[in-house]
Amino acid sequence: MLAALLIIMSYVLGTFPSAILIARGNGIDIATFGSGNPGASNVTRALGWRKGIWVYVLDALKAATATGLGLGMGFDWAGTGRPLAYVCAIAATLGHMFPAFRHFKGGKGVACGSGVVMVLQPLLGLAIPVVWWTISKVTGKAAVGSIVTVASVPVGLVLLGRPAWEFGAMAALCALILVKHWRNFGRLIRREEPSLRKA
If pLDDT is split at 50, 70 and 90, which confidence band does 116 have? very high
DSSP one-letter code for 193: P
If pLDDT is split at 50, 70 and 90, which confidence band does 30 have? very high
* The model's pTM: 0.87
- Sorted by sequence, the CB contacts under 8 Å of residue 104 that are 6+ apart come out as 98
If pLDDT is split at 50, 70 and 90, which confidence band does 194 have? confident
Per DSSP, the three-state class of 166 is helix
Alpha helices in 2-141 (DSSP H): 2-14, 18-25, 40-47, 49-73, 82-97, 110-120, 122-139
Q: What is the mean pLDDT of residues 154-171?
A: 92
Q: When comparing pLDDT for 194 and 5, which is higher?
A: 5
Comparing 20-29, 64-73, 74-83, which segment has the lowest mean pLDDT? 74-83
Q: What is the mean pLDDT of residues 165-188?
A: 89
If pLDDT is split at 50, 70 and 90, which confidence band does 79 have? low
Comparing 5-19, 38-52, 99-113, 128-142, which segment has the lowest mean pLDDT? 128-142
Q: What is the mean pLDDT of residues 161-172?
A: 93
pLDDT of residue 75: 62
* 152 CB burial (10 A radius; 0-12, 13-18, 19+): middle
- How many Å apart are CA 40 and CA 48, to the nearest integer? 10
Total length of the chain: 199
Say if residue 199's pLDDT is above 50. Answer: no
Comparing 15-29, 47-61, 85-99, 130-144, which segment has the lowest mean pLDDT? 130-144
- How many Å apart are CA 26 and CA 46, to the nearest integer? 10
- Contact, 28 vs 48, CB < 8 A? no
Say if residue 3's pLDDT is above 80. Answer: yes
- Contact, 109 vs 95, CB < 8 A? no
- Contact, 113 vs 170, CB < 8 A? no
For 44-74, the pLDDT digits (tens) are 888 998 999 999 999 999 999 999 999 887 6
- How many Å apart are CA 96 and CA 187, to the nearest integer? 23
Query: Among residues 58, 132, 62, 134, which one has the least CA distance to residue 92?
Result: 62
Neighbours of 15 (CB within 10 A): 18
pLDDT of residue 74: 65
Query: Among residues 91, 63, 93, which one has the least CA distance to residue 3?
Result: 91
